Structures are given as C-alpha cells and as structure tokens.
Amino acid sequence: MQDNAATPGPGPVNIGSGPFMPDREILEHGFVPVEVYTSQERFDFEIEEVFKKVWLNVGRVEQIPDAGDFFVKELAFAKVSALIVRGRDGEIRAFHNVCRHRGMQVVWDQAGSRSQFRCIYHAWVYNTEGELTYVPERECFPELDQKKSSLQPIATATLGGFIFVNLAPRPAQSLEDFLGGYGDHLRTMPLGKYNFVLKMSKVLGTNWKLGVEANQEGYHVHSMHIRTVRDIIRTKDNPFTHFGHQEYYGPHRYGSILANPEWRPTAARPVHQFAVGQTGSQLYQADGKVGALPGHSGTNLGNCPNWATDSVAIFPNIIFQPSTNSWFTQHFWPIAPNKSLWEAHYYYPEPTTLREKFASEHGLMFNRDTVSEDYIALEKQQRMLESGAIQFIQFSRAEDHPRHQAAILAALEQRTRRFQQAAE
C-alpha cells in the first residue's frame, strides 16, 4: 500500500543545530534501546536539547482574536508558565508569566481578556505588550530601570493559525525553517473554518514518545481497535492499515489513512448507525457532506481514493489530523520518564441541525473511545518496559514513522554527546 517509490524516504534533519542524518542503525533495523523510554538521563536530554530548543505549538490564533485576549500555557517540563497575549497592535506575543519585582506569577487565570496585567503581590502593572507601566511607590525604587523591566519575552511565531513558542533565548531557526515543506501545506489550510468544540486531556503513566508512536503506525489497529475503528479503516488488500501515502519533511512525518469503502454501520450498533447516517463522522466519508479539508491542496497529498484523514507528526510531540469532516490535534507533553500530559483539541463544522449536532457529539465520543484503547494499553507497556525484562524493542518495516522519530532522537543524542566531549 505504501507509495514509497513516489516519495523520498527520510533525509537530513535540521532542528536548529545544523543538518544531521537520523540514526542509520535504527532506520534500517528498527531496534531501539528500552532505556530511551525509562531513563532519567535520556529524559533530561530530551528536555534540554529538544523541548527547550525547538518550536512548540501552544494554541491557536482563534483563542485570542482581539487585543487584550490572552491565555496561559503551563510548560511543566521546563517549569515555565507562558503568557500568550494579543497586543493593541494585533501582534501575538508570549512572555514568561513572572513579575520583574520579586518573581510572583503575574496572571493566574488560564484565559481571558484584559487591558493590563496587575501582579497580585504588590500591584506592579504590565501592558499587553509586556511593558512595565506602573509601580506603586515608584520613588522607593531609585535604581529601577522601568524600560528594562518588561516581562521577559518568549520567542513566538504563528503559521496556519497555530501559535508556536520557542523557549531558547535566541531560537536557532525560524518557525518556517523548522516546519519546512510541511509548513507550506499547513499555511493555506482553511482550519479556521472549523469551530473548536472540545478539549480532552489526561496525565498518562507513559513516556511521551509512546503516545506519539501509537499514532504513527496502523499495525496495531487490527488488534487494539477491534471495537472501534478497525473495520472502518481496514480493507482486505490493506489488512494492517498501512498509510496510503507517506512523506517525510525533515523531522516531521506525513501519512494518509484510508477509509474502507465497503464499511457501513450496522443495525447491531443503532446509535452509531444513526449518527453516521446523518452526516458521517470524522474518519469516514460523509454521505454527500464533507468539510472544507477534503480536496484542499494541503491534504491527501497522494490523491488516495477513499482518503479518510492525514496523520501528521509535527516534531517532537504533535499529531495533527485533518480529516474529511473535522480536524484535531494531540499533544504529548513530557512530565517524567514515565509520565506525560496528553491533550487533544477537536474542531468541527458548525452544526446546522440537531441531527448534525448529535452526529458530531457522537464522533467526538467515538474518538475518545478509540484513543482510550491506546492510552490504557500504553500505560501497561510503560510498566513492562520498566521491568527490565527486555533491553530492546523492535519496529517493523511498516512501523517506519515511529522508527524515524527514534532515529532522530538517537542521532541527536549521540551528536550532542560528541560535541560535549569535544568541549571538555
């Protein structure tokens, strides 16, 4: 099923420290040491050399449409609270949510709209551009340089409506360079035509990479998802749900998941049948009604018949799925070697009838059930990896996307270690 002849395989990757090749051994043979999922040392490396240096998506521009609109994103892996705010000039900026007086957290709400931000401790005031505008009893701070006491900025950029931040004081590459060719697809997609309808999140007892991996291969679908999506996306000539088309964009990976055109909801599941019969749901073609994404030049890049959804891994921790009738993202944020925060955001068309509303609610819950099958299992996988019973896992040739992610991180770790040794 894979259209590998038409598309180049993995090439050099550049996430800001110069181009390098993913680890050849892992790419070719698929063996990955278990300790990359369990060791504190490896986890610390990923935080310092990946998560604190690359562009990370923290939200959407639609969350803050007007001047003064803001939200706060806690990036626990870095102990950073990021305040993202749209200024009076319409620019979106991000700041460390830390008062320049004595370090209090300035904004405590998760989101809202304000003309200024007042620290609760002693009432220093910052404007929406982060400048310190008011200090009570100003004369008692003769050495305060007010102009140099703005909230500390965090690098911010947007593309395709996604707001990214980069925690490096001076990011080594632009967001455009980081996203590379996939950014060109993302930039033009009409994602804003869909409404944000639901956020689901859960702290998982797994390494963050296990979540990314489970969303980057279809090999598990025939076994793990018997009760949910298996029959919807599996066909006789594609029994292990390989991607219909796949591409590599630097560290990012693109795959198209196909629908089974013969699948029909059965009377054995009447609610499912009713919901899907109305409008279709996210993974299958609606009967005559599809959203703005099918047919868009940025989706279904291989022009696969029976396209259902793209599954795009945006390095390091995002799964983005533009689908026939909706789109959604999943983020896997590292907390500890065996703990991560899963966040999913779902975007659906505005329902025009109660039936459509019902169908989209059903689609959401169907997706919840599907991903729950994965995450319950992944917690068991993590525990078994920690048992020490095996030293390596092995990815098949068809699990080449998770293999690619593992190969990038392994090569980066080796490279960083070589640089550090050379510097000592």
- Contact residues for Fe ion, defined by CB under 5 A: 374
Site for ligand FES in 88-127 (CB under 6 A): 99, 101-102, 104, 119, 121-124
Adjacent-strand bridge partners of 118: 125
Q: How far apart are CA 229 and CA 220, in angstroms?
A: 11
Say how many C-beta atoms besides its own lie within 10 A of residue 118's C-beta. 16
Element (H, E) at 369: helix 354-386
Residue 83 interacting entry, from ligand FES, Fe ion, none, C-beta within 5 to 8 Å by type: none
Closest distance to Fe ion from the beta carbon of 218 (Å):
8
Say how many C-beta atoms besides its own lie within 10 A of residue 189's C-beta. 19
Q: How many residues are given for the chain?
A: 424
Q: Which residue is nearest to Fe ion (CB)?
A: 374
Closest distance to Fe ion from the beta carbon of 284 (Å):
16
Element (H, E) at 56: strand 56-60
Of the pair 203, 376, the CB lying nearest Fe ion is at 376
As given in the structure block, the two tokens for residue 209 are 């990479």
Residue 165 interacting entry, from Fe ion, ligand FES, none, C-beta within 5 to 8 Å by type: none
Closest distance to ligand FES from the beta carbon of 72 (Å):
16
Angle between helices 270-279 and 354-386 (to 10 degrees): 120
Residue reference for tokens 């089974």: 260
Closest distance to ligand FES from the beta carbon of 100 (Å):
8
Element (H, E) at 113: strand 111-113
Residue 99 interacting entry, from Fe ion, ligand FES, none, C-beta within 5 to 8 Å by type: ligand FES
Q: How far apart are CA 279 and CA 272, in angstroms?
A: 11
Of the pair 156, 367, the CB lying nearest Fe ion is at 367
Of the pair 116, 414, the CB lying nearest ligand FES is at 116
Residue reference for tokens 């859960």: 202
Adjacent-strand bridge partners of 320: 312, 329
Q: Does 29 bind ligand FES (CB under 6 A)?
A: no
Of the pair 247, 373, the CB lying nearest Fe ion is at 373
Task: Give the Å distances, CA to CA, from 353 to 219, 280, 283, 312.
Answer: 37, 14, 20, 31
Closest distance to Fe ion from the beta carbon of 377 (Å):
9
Closest distance to Fe ion from the beta carbon of 199 (Å):
19
Closest distance to ligand FES from the beta carbon of 117 (Å):
10
Of the pair 310, 374, the CB lying nearest Fe ion is at 374
Residues in the site for ligand FES, rule: CB under 6 A?
99, 101-102, 104, 119, 121-124
